Structure 1
Amino acid sequence: MAGIPPKPWPTGKAMQLEPLVRRVLAPNPSPYTFTGTQTYIVGLGDGCAVIDPGPDEKEHLLALDAAIGEEHVCAIMCTHTHRDHSPAAKTLAARTGAAIVGCAPLVIDSNLPRSDEAFDPTYEPDRVMEDGERMTGPGWTLTAVATPGHVSNHLCFALEESGALFTGDHVMGWSTSVVIPPDGDMGDYMKSLDKLYAREDRVFYPAHGEAVEKPRQLVRGMIGHRRQRENQIVRHLAEGPHEAADFVPKMYKGLDPKLHKAAEMSVTAHLIDLEQRGLVARSGDVWQTI
């Protein structure tokens, strides 16, 4: 996980990335959101779509109003329902009259510790998009690409006119995605990475961090990294039974203690995947090879 770059950041400014795409950075930086959530506006004058409207914060909504101007908002589209991505959808829909479309609603009530954002209970889509479904507007077409793993309802959106893919939290240039059980699923996440690797997108626009100009190269590296972590877990289990927390100091040397819980959750996701594949077993909190 990369460190957050020094300020100033372009918070609140509409950045033109390509003819059909603008980006507005929300004021919600953190160790898990990098410099903040990036909202994308797709369209060129006659009508636009807003992707991942972000947190329901006055400063960010005013920045979106300024970026959109008098343009008609055709749709508000959400990749998933973590609270740094979808809460502004409801307010923006009330202001613009646009439909909320994209991922399915999902709220997880759990007393398990989390190291990412909690889920947004206010999200109410007018239309849930399935894999391959399209949303169209003046001069643009966005196709839903189902990518469960980070969370079960995660979608990416492919801009057919330019070869760009809006990847939400599934693929980010600054960090690997956090996969936290019970809703985060490492097996699904790996399948979704394979799915993106098989595509030929020109560029990835993630919700956090800069654009990814060599997407297949990055995805290949991410797949290799996850397989390396899996192999580390199997090697340590060959030494004897472990609890999930036991792996962290062995596998994440020098990691900031604030990030230990995230690392433990990632290990747990790998262990559950290995269990489902019949390679490890658990008794209570203790894991061992079969």
Structure 2
Amino acid sequence: MSEPIAFDTRFDAPHGVAVTLSPLLRRVVAPNPGPVTFTGTCSYVVGRGTVAIVDPGPDDPAHVEALLAAVAGESVGHVVVTHTHRDHSPAARAIVAATGARLVGCGPHRPASVLPDGVANPMEASGDRDYRPDLEMREGDAIAGAGWSLVAVETPGHTANHLAFALPEERALLSGDHVMAWATTFVGPPDGAMGPYMASLSKLLAREDDVVYWPGHGGPVTEPRRMVRAILAHRRQREEAILARLRAGDSAVPEIVANVYRGLAPALHGAAALNVLAHLEDLAAREVVRVEGPLSLAARFAMA
């Protein structure tokens, strides 16, 4: 039996306050708590003097004001975005306008999978489709300031365009929403895809230099490789549970959710359904299961 994930939900950082985490990192938490954002989005200031702001957060004037106050008297050279969900990227526009910084990071929002005609996009409201970077970063691309650098690590899965950023001077990884300490990452079509997500986890597991992750929500991941191994095992167990339900006769996503996620809070049922759909999409691509009709939350599934 694999070791259970050791979640850490002890996080009481106040909203709007710049907290020093390390010589090169400060964090400001946005006031957007919720079922999938935990206590709010974590925005990071990297460096001193000439700085970068990573994941500026939602379109919230109070959060923008708090970030600008945190860097008062400093030069913001870059605003860096890990991915284009609306809790991470929209504030970039206001901060770029106020500072003249260069907007860099992930590419424009795009789906991981294409839904058939006539099938509604359940993630339509989540994507920041106005985001356009001055520089789209790819694997290994880097930006730098005085005494610091950020190196892009492609980690698709939560979204198709997701990047993490290594801070080699502190052996740290700003992991965005790919790996967090407080909960497993949401992966749901069409924004996200389970196959790339699992591959990205395996990729991070092979990185031996990272000793801490600073995620997009919640506190640090202090044993990152142990956490990644546990998440990989958890996802494989979830896949086996879904397959067991298909073998037992379940064929629809709501049936599978009801049986696999017993006792889940009602507010999380929608996210659980999309997680199940992501697993089923991956299983169908691997020809382990078959889909009856277009891939959607209303589709029927069976063992291949």
TM-score range, shorter chain: over 0.9
Contact 1:238 1:289 survives alignment (8 Å): yes
Match of 1:12 in 2: 16
Contact 1:190 1:223 survives alignment (8 Å): yes
The CA deviation string for residues 183-221 of structure 1, in whole angstroms up to 9 with x for no partner, is 311000000000111112110000101011100011110
Count residues with an aligned counterpart: 287
RMSD: 1.9
Structure 1, unmatched stretches of 5+, are: none
Distance 1:4 1:141 in 2: 29
Segment drifting more, 138-147 vs 255-264 = 255-264
Counterpart AA for 2:244:
R
Correspondence 1:25-44 to 2 at 5 A: 25-44=29-48
Give the secondary-structure state (helix, strand or coil) at the position aligned to 2:126.
Answer: coil
1:173 aligns with 2:181: yes
TM-score normalised over the length of structure 2? 0.90
Q: How far off its partner does 1:157 sit? A: 0.3
Match of 1:74 in 2: 77
Structure 1 pair 120–69 and aligned structure 2 pair: CA distance change class (3 A): same
The higher-RCO structure (CA 8 Å, 6+ apart) is 2
Return structure 1 stretches of 4+ with deviation > 4 angstroms: 1-6, 107-110
Contact 2:44 2:55 survives alignment (8 Å): yes
Distance 2:129 2:284 in 1: 31
Contact 1:4 1:35 survives alignment (8 Å): no
Q: How far off its partner does 1:235 sit? A: 1.3
The CA deviation string for residues 124-174 of structure 1, in whole angstroms up to 9 with x for no partner, is 100000111111111111000000000100000000111110011111111
Structure 1 pair 133–3 and aligned structure 2 pair: CA distance change class (3 A): closer
Distance 2:249 2:65 in 1: 56
Give the secondary-structure state (helix, strand or coil) at the position aligned to 2:214.
Answer: strand
TM-score normalised over the length of structure 1? 0.94
The CA deviation string for residues 95-145 of structure 1, in whole angstroms up to 9 with x for no partner, is 11110000001156983334x961112211000001111111111110000
The CA deviation string for residues 4-51 of structure 1, in whole angstroms up to 9 with x for no partner, is 779x64111111100000000111111111000010000022x00100
Q: How far off its partner does 1:3 sit? A: 10
